[in-house]
């Protein structure tokens, strides 16, 4: 049984964001249909990466986020907007100011895609909040 079903209380997203400060390390808040709902605080530039097999949903909770692409126009997202990066598409998230995002993606999705860097967090080290 998933943790979400075991703990069916409503989740207040804004309150969850108050539980952590680190940038670029997502926290898991729910699991359903083999997907995770994750929260992350972003600031600055991440790294170019692609998720070979998974589409990635970004929902902007606070601030704004630019998604840079190699094969299409950049996308500027502001609070309340969402965007789905298709599987296999190279993307570079850039947040000029602190940005809060909610991500929904398959549990198998690795946040730096097929790119391994010092900023990659191992799948088993992902934290629930």
Q: Three-class SS string for 24-52? A: CCCEEEEEECCEEEEEEEEEEECCCECCC
Q: Based on CB atoms, which residue is closest to Ni ion, 56 or 77?
A: 56
Query: Closest approach of Cβ 129 to Ni ion, in Å?
Result: 20
Interaction residues for Ni ion, span 53-112 (CB under 5 A):
56
Residues with Cβ within 8 Å of residue 84, at least 6 apart in sequence: 55, 56, 57, 58
Minimum distance of Ni ion from residue 56's CB (angstroms): 5
Contact 75, 67 (CB under 8 A): yes
From the list 29-37, 52-60, 61-69, 114-122, the region that binds Ni ion by CB under 5 A is: 52-60
User: Taking the complex as a whole, how short is the minimal distance between the CB of residue 127 and Ni ion, in angstroms?
Assistant: 18
Q: Which of residues 29 and 65 has its CB atom nearest to Ni ion in the complex?
A: 65
C-alpha distances (whole Å) from 12 to each of 18, 21, 30 are 10, 17, 12
Q: In the complex, what is the shortest distance from the CB of residue 113 to Ni ion, in angstroms, rounded to a whole number?
A: 6
| Secondary structure letter of residue 72 according to DSSP | S
Report the residue number, 56 or 104, with the smaller CB distance to Ni ion: 56
Residues that bind Ni ion (CB under 5 A): 56
């Amino acid at each position: 049984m998933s943790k979400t079903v075991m703990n069916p209380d409503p989740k207040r997203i804004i309150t969850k964001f108050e539980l952590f400060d680190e940038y670029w390390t997502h926290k898991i808040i729910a699991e359903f249909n083999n997907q995770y709902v994750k929260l992350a605080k972003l600031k600055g530039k991440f790294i170019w990466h692609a998720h070979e097999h998974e589409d990635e949903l970004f929902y902007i909770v606070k601030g704004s986020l630019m998604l840079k692409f190699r094969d299409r126009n950049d996308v500027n997202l502001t609070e309340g907007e969402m965007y789905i990066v298709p599987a296999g598409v190279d993307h570079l998230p850039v947040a000029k100011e602190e940005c809060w995002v909610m991500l929904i993606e398959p549990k198998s999705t690795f946040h730096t895609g097929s790119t391994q860097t010092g900023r990659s967090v191992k799948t088993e080290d992902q934290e629930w909040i």
